[in-house]
Chain A
Amino acid sequence: MIYLRVVVICLTVIATSCDRQNRQASSETGVAKMQEGTLVVTSNYPLYFFASRIAEGVVDAPEIVLPKIKGDPASWVPSAEQIQQLQSADAVILNGAGYESWLSLVTIDQRRLVDTSGHIKEQLIPLEGSLVHQHGPGGEHSHEGTAFTVWLDPRLAIVQAESITDALIRILPSGKTGFRENMARLESDLMELDASLAAGFSRLNDQPVLFSHPVYQYLQRRYELNGQSVHWEPDEEPSTSDWISLQRLRSKHTASIMIWEGKPLSSIAERLSEVGIESVSLRPLANSPGQGDYLSEMRADAKRLEALLSSD
């Protein structure tokens, strides 16, 4: 039987090879690589900022790109053109920790992916309370994951930046010295930010805080914050049940500060103030800020936080 198939394959092979002019000898190694200009695509703004800082001023450094992403990059689904850009990149810098949900939907060369949290897997925080569902014969299942705003812990952000440095050196070995020097400067800046945030949060003295969204897990762990999260959007009025839930939560967790992903609507801030909760924003800056850069905006937020806590 198998010999019959071999005969069929032989005939098919010879038949499909009719166009002799189109026969091309394959490369010696078997893997042909496209040699194009160097391009590095990043999956969110902090990574873009880190990569840009590390590549800054280095001769022939790759072009660092952050695709145009509407809304939160964590829920981004790239368009056909953006996928082509990702496929043509020499490196795609990922946050990892399940942040890039689009990765499971897109065909991309795995060799070009740089998981910046790949070296700190054991430090990732698992998410709790994933929705379990069941349909068909497959049994119950849920779509679990880990918290992904890794960069909010500046020390983990430094590890991420080091991964980016290694990736850039792999792409452009001649730029190693420049990349390393820039990395040292970036590390110093991030350590300074860490110190600034630590100084601010130290004023809390273990006082409970609220987070408007469950995205501050790494920040909470780094600065040992006594925090609880709600699920509020800064630009959406909370529903009555949200207010009731908050009231219930406060009966156990008497927080007087709520840390927001963005500046909340004044109506929300006022109503919170009435119940004794002051609002302050500490933006994760997953997407590009309108003005300034990652460090300047984070420093500004840290300063506002420190000012608020000092006035208490």
Chain B
Amino acid sequence: MSGALFLGWRYLAHHRFKSSILVASITLMVFLPSATRIIVEDSANALTARADQTPLILGARGSELELVLNTLYFHAESPATVENRVFLEAQATGLAEFIPVHSLFRARGASIVGTSPDYFDFRGLKIAEGRQMGLLGECVIGANVAARLGLAPGDSIVSSPETVFDIAGVYPLKMTIAGVLERKGTADDDAVFVDVRTTWIIQGLGHGHTDLDIPEAGAAVLSRREDVITANASLKQYAEITPDNISGFHFHGAGESFPLSGIIAVPPDQRNGTLLLGRYQNNDLLQIVAPDNVLDELLATVFAVQNYVILGLAMLSLATVAVTALVFLLSQQLRKGEFRTLLRIGASRSYISILIASELVFVFTISVLLAGVLTLITQYYAVQVLQAVLTL
């Protein structure tokens, strides 16, 4: 018995190339479906975890998915917006805690997220280094942004201009980094957080300039009649908010009309949540969505695709099994002389059967073990590998 196992092992070892191909084929046959399932389930879990933590999102009527993805992951390019009035009115209902989100701009590849301090409590975000933003123009950055750009508290980051050719458009604002957030393994790690009013300044809805009422501003004054002063284009507007010029910053127009890309609603209980859903149900301009429902619909599609992929892999596995069987059968034909010799020197037919079976068992055992190890590696390291691939 042990002699048959030894001979089987020696045969596989001698024909290393053929054995390796067999092992690799069977390993992939076992590994690929399980790896697909792990990756899909992992991404689905990560995707739904953030959605599950976010009870409701209020925003402009349109694509529910667009609203959810932008509010949760700050990814939309030009999301539909609602007026700040919607936020103030929702707040006045007292049905939930409402958190504004303004995610329209970027700074060195990271999304600038304008929000209120409630957001940090809501997401459980803690400051790892520095302090919470205090004055307009200050920001706190996610751990990945800090690591990727080599930034620390006290440094600054400049918002990207909306368009190079729009001279009258959005001007970059130099923001001082007040703090760096602890890593959370979420989209927050890749964002630059500012007060929502800072995003309105970036948008040009508020700005700072020299006081037009002082003599130093004389060159910038085009006309002065009674209580009305008109400035010319030379009026210096500040590109950075500092303690020295902050009092010169102000907003134009009613703050109620300023835009928000989404509003997170956190009702204290299910009853208030239902009341809130009912409140916006028939609104032509607004919609309120439960992100987990929206993403469940999306994931149903993803899982359907996954099932097709696994079905395809199962077909491939059948083909692999057939090819493996063929390889073994052909191999037996080629080894007829070898088996005849064994019979002549006294080996029984059952001994030869054990020898062939042992080779099969070795190949399958090694393949399954390898597939198991690869699955474990996938489970623990696939994310790092994906991250490395994504950052290439």
Contacts and interface: CB of A to CB of B under 8 A. Distances in A.
Contacts of B185: 16-20, 22-23
A27 interface: yes
Nearest to B142: A16
A5 interface: yes
Contacts of A135: 209, 212, 220, 230-232, 235
Given A15-B386, A15-B390, A32-B121, A132 B227 contact: yes
Contacts of A6: 65, 69, 298, 302
A77 B386 CA distance: 47
Contacts of B63: 2
A11 interface: yes
Interface stretch (B15-23, B189-197, B340-348, B349-357): B189-197
> For the side of the interface on B, what is the size category?
35 or more
B124 to A, nearest CB: 5
Given A134-B230, A138-B252, A77 B243 contact: yes
Contact of A107 (B65, B117, B168): B117
Contacts of B384: 18
Q: Is the interface of B mostly helix, strand, loop or mixed?
A: mixed
Interface string B370-392: 00000000000011101100110
Contacts of A275: none
Nearest to A18: B383
Chain B CB count within 10 A is highest, among A16, A33, A83, for A16
Contacts of A104: 136, 197, 250-251
Nearest to A10: B43
A265 to B, nearest CB: 25
A109 B117 contact: yes
Interface in A110-159: 110-111, 129-138, 140-143
Interface string B295-327: 000100110000000000000000000000000
Contacts of A2: 63, 65-66
Contacts of B69: 5-6, 9
Chain B CB count within 10 A is highest, among A107, A133, A140, for A107
Interface string A234-257: 000000000000000000000000
Given A77-B247, A143-B250, A16 B186 contact: yes
Interface in B246-296: 246-247, 249-253, 266, 268
B106 interface: no
Q: Is the interface of A mostly helix, strand, loop or mixed?
A: mixed
A14 interface: yes
Given A6-B298, A12-B187, A80-B134, A131 B383 contact: no
Interface of B: 39, 42-44, 46-47, 50, 53-55, 63, 65-66, 69, 73, 75, 97, 116-118, 121-124, 131-136, 138, 144, 168, 182-187, 189-190, 195, 197, 209, 212-213, 220, 227-232, 235, 243, 246-247, 249-253, 266, 268, 298, 301-302, 382-384, 386-387, 390-391
Given A5-B75, A87-B132, A134-B228, 20 more contacts: A5-B69, A10-B43, A10-B47, A14-B42, A18-B384, A22-B185, A30-B55, A30-B266, A31-B266, A80-B131, A80-B135, A104-B136, A107-B133, A109-B118, A111-B118, A131-B212, A131-B229, A134-B229, A134-B230, A137-B168
